[in-house]
């Protein structure tokens, strides 16, 4: 069984492969770096699920493979849910994440810790070239730290404080983060959906029944 992650972001792909390797140990997990480039679609939806679906469907059509795409964002209560679905483009598409985090912290300047609630939200869409699709979503609640801490993870992880472990996502080990994060949770749901993929059931049935009789 083979699954293609609809991303060329090596940090994100690495995290997703690590999680899925435990959930789907018999599957081969690739990403788009294993395929020739193709025009990647604009993320024009106003929801995470919509953007994930756009990417999954486009990748499945371009590669002919079963594809999984995600879209995630950071929602900060004191900013009315911003940056939200625009998290990757916050402050400008090409602005590095250290600068994006600096902008977030500037906007929260003077806001006390108890009012710095935040949530990571992640949607995953799965699609194949025959038109089968599934979408799942999960969240992780925390707070925005007063300064970045830790070198782990990627994106906004160094400023997302997870109170149950007393650390930012940037300070967590990979195993700690995978066990509690929005992406870890949503990929568990995605793995359940992948086990029900009609194409996988067909392959399993053919394997069990053996070669067709002449």
Which domains can be identified in the chain, with CATH numbers? Answer: 2-209 (3.90.950.10)
Q: Is the pTM of this model over 0.95?
A: no
- pLDDT score recorded for residue 64: 96
Residue 26 annotated in active site:
no
Candidate list 31, 46, 70, 71, residue with the active-site label: 71
Q: pLDDT below 70 — which residues of the chain?
A: 201-214
Both tokens assigned to 30? 């690739």
- pLDDT score recorded for residue 201: 54
- pLDDT score recorded for residue 211: 37
- pLDDT score recorded for residue 199: 85
User: CA-to-CA distance for 67 and 127, rounded, in angstroms?
Assistant: 5
């Amino acid at each position: 069984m083979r699954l293609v992650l609809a991303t060329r972001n090596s940090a994100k792909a690495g995290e997703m492969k690590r999680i899925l390797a435990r959930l789907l140990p018999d599957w081969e997990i690739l990403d788009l770096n294993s395929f020739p480039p193709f025009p990647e679609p604009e993320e024009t939806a106003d929801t995470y699920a919509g953007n994930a679906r756009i990417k999954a469907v486009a990748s499945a059509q371009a590669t002919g493979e079963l594809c999984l795409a995600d879209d995630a964002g950071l929602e900060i209560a004191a900013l009315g849910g911003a940056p939200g679905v625009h998290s990757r483009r916050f402050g400008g598409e090409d602005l590095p994440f250290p600068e994006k985090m600096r902008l977030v912290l500037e906007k929260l300047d003077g806001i006390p810790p108890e009012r710095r609630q935040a949530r990571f939200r992640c949607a995953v869409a799965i699609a194949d070239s025959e038109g089968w699709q599934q979408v799942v979503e999960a969240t992780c609640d925390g707070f925005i730290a007063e300064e970045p801490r830790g070198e782990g993870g990627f994106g906004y992880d160094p400023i997302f404080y997870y109170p149950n472990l007393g650390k930012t996502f940037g300070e967590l080990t990979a195993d700690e983060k995978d066990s509690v994060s929005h992406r870890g949770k949503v990929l568990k749901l995605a793995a359940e959906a992948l086990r029900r993929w009609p194409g996988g059931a067909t392959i399993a049935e053919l394997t069990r029944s053996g070669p067709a009789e002449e």
